[in-house]
């Protein structure tokens, strides 16, 4: 039984991490890359074998659980270190190890001249190991272990170039803001434990509908607390401000952690705990609204960025917004499908942007690029494919099939509404506009800088592979109008309930599909007109006071940083300053001061003169006798 | 044996005690201070004897023996200190040994 090898999938990258940490300094660059890339490669092969085995010979009831040992034993709290393989984790481990391997391979070239080469691979391996623990966990406590592990790696890798204090600040910001959500998640876990007496996922999922009524307050509370964790990790409103700053890390880190895998952990968590969320319709609506609001806000912010990586960061926020929208309307499989296609095309976009950045020696500003179409053709073509997939270019790209599914569910699901659909539709137009703005600014127009170095084979191969998957990954889910082969949905719906479709007919399906095609093509066309043909229009708009103000507002992420700075950071610093002299310490300082004063007073009595002491004894004796006699 | 009123004896003891006390406070010579202390101790002894004869108890005289023994010990230590003081400071002025002030 190959399933017994499941524990090796997260263990191998963790072993790679240990090797690199212990012997990293004595390894050559080649050796560090061999261990770092190789461990993830082996994990990827193993994951692929397990996945194929799962498809060919699925375990009974579609779930294989492997318990390794009991982690803690305190009365009836006995969480196991246990992993489970089911339809959801099959998809997750495939994406994490497969995309992870190619990003590691890319990093071997990208980071080659960096001083912290083996340190980088150690952190990356730890990340992949933690992420695999997170997605394979059969127990919520193990899931939490992976959850915190990826948060730690995110912190370490955002601040990888720690010599610049700004990078350290960005890392701390990411860590602290996600921690706010994590506190909610932890409380949610405790709540679930107090009600179910176990943290085993399967037990909670099966017992929740039996014990809790539909829409019960306790179910809503549990779902809302889990949602807090998901919102923090997945950079959704209102905890989204850390993601753009997280771009301070090296580009492969952004591709792996802040696009393909870790930031989608929130989506995974909600899909994993779907039974709890299904019992809390109010929270489901909240998830959909958060998703819709985030996707619009982030898309607007992406429109005005100058840093190419920040455009992609806002785009990631926006796309995860789509996934939340899908989760919120109950289209679990659509969210997971979009997670998968997004992992391919967004990591592709990051890696292609990384080639441009690498060739221009760490230039991030798109306005200083331009005309790179001919000098870095591979980056151009792959970035173009990624952009087309992101904008859901009809028929040939993976993004089309996944986003189409989400928009369809947003409209037709029992929980959906035309407003949610409209938000997604406008977001789709904006997506085309912002990403093709980046394409035209970077690769078209006048060439401003010549590439100073060229990417090696290790960086080229991942681009080609991911570009291929950004196109073909969509074909595993053919919609009704195009062959009607929903393999992916059928597969995932073994585990997750199907989306509750109500008002669906073939004509509305075709109508919605045409609408999303219009959105996709319209966005691209608009970008072409505004940024390739008539740049003067954009400049004129930017020069009007309103246009300039809106652009500045969007550039600063709708003022969220400013708001949080004034609402939380400054009052906190003010309180800290107020308490600088420590009000509470004043009491203790006062006692010390009083003792000192009394000491001075009494020591003057200590004259050293014998006769004074005798007089003192006399006076004391007189007083004592007087008290004894008269009182 | 003429019975003296107990008050006379106590007054004598009080006067002796006061004399000794004044000597301790007013004198600067350590030897005289020691002698004044002896007077005070004897005043206390007189008071015990008077009280003992008043109540016809032997305890007063027993107490006086204790005081006597204690005074002998005290004087031996005191004189040793006086000798030490004389060899250190070349004087017997009590105020000269005032280095132990706060």
A514-537: pLDDT as tens digits: 888 888 888 888 888 888 777 777
Q: Is A70 helix (H, G, I), strand (E, B) or coil?
A: strand
Closest alpha carbon to A128 in A160, A95, A106: A95
| Contacts A605 to B, Cβ<8 Å | 102
| Contacts B24 to A, Cβ<8 Å | 611, 614
| Contacts B97 to A, Cβ<8 Å | 608, 610
Distances (CA, A) of A401 to A95, A120, A387: 17, 35, 15
User: What integer pLDDT is reported at residue A147 of this predicted model?
Assistant: 92
| Contacts A602 to B, Cβ<8 Å | 102
Q: Average pLDDT, stretch A594-616?
A: 87
Buried-state track A163-182, b at ≥16 Cβ within 10 A, e below 16: eeeebbebbebbbebbebbb
CA distance A596 to chain B (A): 13
Distances (CA, A) of A257 to A96, A152, A344: 10, 11, 13
A330-379: pLDDT as tens digits: 888 888 999 999 999 999 999 998 888 888 887 888 888 877 788 888 88
Task: Compare CB distances from A614 to B25, B98, B100 and report the shortest one's residue.
Answer: B25
CB contact under 8 A, B100 and A608: yes
Chain A interface, mutation test: which of B19, B25, B36, B85, most A Cβ atoms within 10 Å? B25
CB contact under 8 A, B25 and A609: no
Q: What is the signed CA dihedral for A370, A373, A379, A384, rounded to 10 degrees?
A: 90
Q: Which two tokens stand for residue A205?
A: 């999922």
* CA end-to-end distance (rounded Å), chain A: 98
Q: Which two tokens stand for residue A257?
A: 């952690």
CB-CB neighbours of A631 under 10 Å: 5
Distance of alpha carbon A129 from the chain centroid: 16
Task: Compare CB distances from B101 to A606, A611, A618 and report the shortest one's residue.
Answer: A606
Peptide bond into A340 cis (omega under 30): no
Task: Compare CB distances from B95 to A609, A614, A618 and report the shortest one's residue.
Answer: A609
User: What would the DSSP string read from start to end of A348-388?
Assistant: HHHHHHHHHHHHTTS--BGGG---TTTTSHHHHHHHHHHHH
Interhelix angle A117-136/A87-110, nearest 10 degrees: 170
Contact status, residue A208 vs residue A275, Cβ threshold 8 Å: yes
Conformational region of residue A70, where left means phi above 0, alpha means psi within -120 to 50, and beta covers everything else: beta
Chain A interface, mutation test: which of B24, B29, B44, most A Cβ atoms within 10 Å? B24
Q: Is A485 helix (H, G, I), strand (E, B) or coil?
A: strand
Whole-angstrom distance, CA of residue A87 vs CA of residue A62 = 7
A59-82: pLDDT as tens digits: 888 888 888 888 888 888 888 889
CA distance A602 to chain B (A): 8
Residue of B nearest to A602 (CA): B102
Closest alpha carbon to A549 in A245, A299, A304, A238: A304
CB contact under 8 A, A608 and B25: no
CA distance B98 to chain A (A): 4
CB contact under 8 A, B95 and A606: no
Residue of A nearest to B37 (CA): A614
- Please report where in the chains the tokens 């929980």 appear, as a residue: A415
- Cβ neighbors of A586 (< 8 A, separation 6 or more) are none
Task: Compare CB distances from B98 to A602, A607, A614 and report the shortest one's residue.
Answer: A607
Task: Compare CB distances from A603 to B26, B94, B102 and report the shortest one's residue.
Answer: B102
Helix ranges restricted to H, B1-102 = 6-26, 30-55, 59-89
In the predicted structure, residue A143 carries a pLDDT above the cut 50? yes
Task: Compare CB distances from A611 to B25, B100, B102 and report the shortest one's residue.
Answer: B25
A390-419: pLDDT as tens digits: 888 888 888 888 888 888 888 887 787 888
Contact status, residue A170 vs residue A245, Cβ threshold 8 Å: yes
Q: Which helix (H) or strand (E) holds A85?
A: strand A80-85
> Which residues of chain B fall short of a pLDDT of 70?
1-3, 100-102
CA distance B2 to chain A (A): 32
Distance of alpha carbon A27 from the chain centroid: 32
Closest alpha carbon to A499 in A305, A622, A337: A337
| Contacts B40 to A, Cβ<8 Å | none
Contact status, residue A212 vs residue A191, Cβ threshold 8 Å: no
Highest mean pLDDT: which of A181-185, A236-240, A453-457, A483-487? Answer: A181-185
User: What integer pLDDT is reported at residue A504 of this predicted model?
Assistant: 65
| Contacts A607 to B, Cβ<8 Å | 98, 101-102
User: What integer pLDDT is reported at residue B1 of this predicted model?
Assistant: 47
pTM for this predicted structure: 0.78
User: What integer pLDDT is reported at residue A592 of this predicted model?
Assistant: 92
User: What integer pLDDT is reported at residue A103 of this predicted model?
Assistant: 92
In the predicted structure, residue A163 carries a pLDDT above the cut 70? yes
Of chain A, the percentage scoring pLDDT greater than 90 comes to: 22
Q: Which two tokens stand for residue B95?
A: 């105020």
CA distance A594 to chain B (A): 18
Closest alpha carbon to A272 in A444, A422, A445, A140: A140
Residue of B nearest to A603 (CA): B102
Identify any residues that bridge with A83 across adjacent strands, giving them in sequence order: A66, A137
Binding-site residues on chain A for chain B (CB distance < 8 A): 602-611, 614-615, 618
Contact status, residue A323 vs residue A265, Cβ threshold 8 Å: no
Whole-angstrom distance, CA of residue B67 vs CA of residue B52 = 14
| Contacts B28 to A, Cβ<8 Å | 611
Reported as a pLDDT band with limits 50, 70 and 90, residue A150 is very high
A12-47: pLDDT as tens digits: 999 999 998 888 788 888 888 888 899 999 999 999
Q: Determine whether A418 is exposed, middle or buried from the number of CB atoms within 10 Å of its CB (0-12, 13-18, 19+).
A: exposed
In the predicted structure, residue A52 carries a pLDDT above the cut 50? yes
CB contact under 8 A, A611 and B102: no
CB contact under 8 A, B102 and A618: no
User: What integer pLDDT is reported at residue A503 of this predicted model?
Assistant: 63
Task: Compare CB distances from B98 to A604, A609, A618 and report the shortest one's residue.
Answer: A609
Distance of alpha carbon A149 from the chain centroid: 13
Whole-angstrom distance, CA of residue A335 vs CA of residue A320 = 9
Q: What is the mean pLDDT of chain A?
A: 86
């Amino acid at each position: 039984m190959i399933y017994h090898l499941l524990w090796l999938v997260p263990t191998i990258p963790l072993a790679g991490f240990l090797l690199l940490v212990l012997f990293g300094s004595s390894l050559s660059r080649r050796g560090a890359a061999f261990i770092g890339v190789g461990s993830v490669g082996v994990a990827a092969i193993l994951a692929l074998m397990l996945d194929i085995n799962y498809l060919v010979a699925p375990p009974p009831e579609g779930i294989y659980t492997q318990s390794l040992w009991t982690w803690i034993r305190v009365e009836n709290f006995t969480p196991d270190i246990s992993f489970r393989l089911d339809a959801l984790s099959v998809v997750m481990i495939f994406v994490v190890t497969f995309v992870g391997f190619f990003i590691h391979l890319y990093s071997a070239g990208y980071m080659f001249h960096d001083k912290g080469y083996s340190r980088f691979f150690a952190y990356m391996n730890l990340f992949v190991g933690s992420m695999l623990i997170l997605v394979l966990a059969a127990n919520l406590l193990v899931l939490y272990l992976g959850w915190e592990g990826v948060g730690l790696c995110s912190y370490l890798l955002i601040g990888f170039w720690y010599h610049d204090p700004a990078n350290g600040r960005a890392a701390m910001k990411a860590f602290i803001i996600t921690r706010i959500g994590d506190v909610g998640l932890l409380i949610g876990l405790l709540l679930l434990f107090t009600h179910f007496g176990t943290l085993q996922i399967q037990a909670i999922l099966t017992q929740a509908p039996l014990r809790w009524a539909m829409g019960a307050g306790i179910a809503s509370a549990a779902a809302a607390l889990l949602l807090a964790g998901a919102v923090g990790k997945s950079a959704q409103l209102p905890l989204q401000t850390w993601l753009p700053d997280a771009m301070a890390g090296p580009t492969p880190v952004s591709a792996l952690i802040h696009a393909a895998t870790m930031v989608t952990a929130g989506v995974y968590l909600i899909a994993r705990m779907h039974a709890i969320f299904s019992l809390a319709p109010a929270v489901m609506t909240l998830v959909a609204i958060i998703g819709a609001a985030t996707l619009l806000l982030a898309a607007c912010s992406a429109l005005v960025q100058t840093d190419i990586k920040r455009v992609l960061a806002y785009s990631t926020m926006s796309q995860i917004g789509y996934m939340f929208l899908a989760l919120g309307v109950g289209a679990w499989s659509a969210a997971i499908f979009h997670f998968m296609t997004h992992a391919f095309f967004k990591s592709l976009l990051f890696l292609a942007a990384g080639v441009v950045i690498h060739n221009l020696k760490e230039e991030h500003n798109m306005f200083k690029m331009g005309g790179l179409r001919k000098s870095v053709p591979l980056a151009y073509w792959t970035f173009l494919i990624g952009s087309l997939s992101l904008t859901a270019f009809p028929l040939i790209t993976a993004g089309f099939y996944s986003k189409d599914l989400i928009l369809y569910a947003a409209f037709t699901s029992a929980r959906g509404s035309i407003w949610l659909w409209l938000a997604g539709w406008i977001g789709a137009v904006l997506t085309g506009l912002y990403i093709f703005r980046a394409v035209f600014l970077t690769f078209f127009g006048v060439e401003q800088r010549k590439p100073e170095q060229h990417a090696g084979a290790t960086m080229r191969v991942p681009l080609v592979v991911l570009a291929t998957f950004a196109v073909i990954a969509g074909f595993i889910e053919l919609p009704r109008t195009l062959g009607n082969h929903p393999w992916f949905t059928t597969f995932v719906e073994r585990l997750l309930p199907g989306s509750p479709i109500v008002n669906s007919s073939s004509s509305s399906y075709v109508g919605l599909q045409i609408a999303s095609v219009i959105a996709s093509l319209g966005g691209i066309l608009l970008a072409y007109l505004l940024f390739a043909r008539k740049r003067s229009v954009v400049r004129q708009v930017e020069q009007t006071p309103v246009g300039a103000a809106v652009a500045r507002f969007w550039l600063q992420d709708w003022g969220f940083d400013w708001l949080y700075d004034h609402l939380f950071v400054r009052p906190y610093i003010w309180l800290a300053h107020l308490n600088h002299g420590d009000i509470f310490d004043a009491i203790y300082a006062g006692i010390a001061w009083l003792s000192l004063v009394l000491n001075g007073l009494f020591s003057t009595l200590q004259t050293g003169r014998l006769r004074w002491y005798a007089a003192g004894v006399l006076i004391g004796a007189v007083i004592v006798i007087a008290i004894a006699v008269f009182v | 044996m003429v019975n003296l009123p107990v008050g006379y004896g106590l007054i004598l003891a009080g006067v002796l005690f006061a004399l000794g006390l004044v000597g301790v406070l007013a004198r600067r010579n350590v030897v005289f201070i020691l002698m004044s202390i002896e007077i005070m101790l004897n005043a206390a002894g007189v008071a015990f004897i008077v009280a003992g004869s008043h109540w016809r108890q032997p305890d007063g005289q027993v107490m006086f023996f204790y005081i006597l023994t204690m005074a002998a010990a005290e004087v031996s230590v005191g004189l040793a200190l006086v000798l030490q003081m004389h060899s250190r400071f070349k004087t017997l002025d009590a105020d000269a040994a005032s280095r132990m002030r706060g």
